[in-house]
Amino acid sequence: MSKLTKNQKLALSKIEPGKEYTLTEASALVKEITTTKFDASVDVDIRLGVDPRKANQMVRGVVSLPHGTGKETRVLVLCTADKEAEATEAGADYVGLDEYIDKIKGGWTDVDVIITMPSVMGKIGALGRVLGPRGLMPNPKSGTVTNEIGNAVREVKQGKIDFKVDKAGIVHTSIGKVSFTADKIADNAREFINTIVKLKPSAAKGTYIKSIYLSSTMSPGIKVDPRSLESKE
């Protein structure tokens, strides 16, 4: 293992081994232990008591973070000509259809979210090999295949994110930046975690939320006590 830097040692020394922090404490501590020169992302990792290989235990969904993600989300809208003005007015970064499909076939994926409409999904299906592994494939469940193009773009720009559990049973997402106040980090984390709780599959047995960790881009993880979510502690 590589040697810890002075800052990493300092960060680790501020976290009590084995301690579970309340969400409020963890949200303040993650700001304190982050020493990067850039505005690092704040991430939440939740280990769930599910078997994601079973279709009836898949956890996926969308959440609108009350304070947004703090990062610029680049949105591509693949739509018919009659919807282009609506997409542009709502703030989409790229709008078009065939030209962008050709670009993606050539390997271009320089966006964070792709929104499209049901009538053009036939053309987009062929892009699955490129978009699927990058998590960019539009999906009706996450609201990215819709005729309400303008609303979908606005929601994504305001901080709506979609998530799904990985093969190891972990849901990972960014919920803000370390420049956020501790209260805003806590609000966003609480909204995300509560959404996960509501999505508990009926087939999941035993403890559902096994662990919650809050961290920033370069920091160690801070263990959060799931019971602290019930109150604003």
CA neighbor of 54 nearest in space, from 165, 177, 174: 165
CATH 3.40.50.790 range(s) for the chain read 75-157
The whole-chain average pLDDT of the chain stands at 90
- Per-residue pLDDT, 182: 96
Tell me the fold of 19-69+161-229. Ribulose 1,5 Bisphosphate Carboxylase/Oxygenase (3.30.190)
Query: 47-65 as b/e, with b when 16 or more CB fall inside 10 Å?
Result: bbebbbeeeebebeebbeb
CA distance 31 to 204: 34
CA distance 103 to 76: 12
Are 51 and 165 within 8 A, CB to CB?
no
CA distance 61 to 189: 15
Q: What is the pLDDT of residues 93-123, one digit of tens each?
A: 999 999 999 999 999 999 999 999 999 999 9
- Per-residue pLDDT, 37: 85
CA distance 120 to 190: 36
Q: What are phi and psi of 102, to 5 degrees?
A: -65, -40
Which two three-digit tokens encode residue 29?
């501590």
Residue 74 DSSP SS3: coil
- Per-residue pLDDT, 137: 93
- Per-residue pLDDT, 233: 42
Are 15 and 226 within 8 A, CB to CB?
no
Residue 7 DSSP SS3: helix
- Per-residue pLDDT, 111: 95
CATH 3.30.190.20 range(s) for the chain read 19-69+161-229
Secondary structure of the chain: what % helix, strand, coil (to 5)? 40, 20, 40
Q: Which CATH superfamily is domain 75-157 in?
A: Ribosomal protein L1/L10, domain II (3.40.50.790)
- Per-residue pLDDT, 232: 53
CA neighbor of 96 nearest in space, from 111, 84, 106: 84
Residues of the chain with pLDDT under 70: 1-4, 230-233
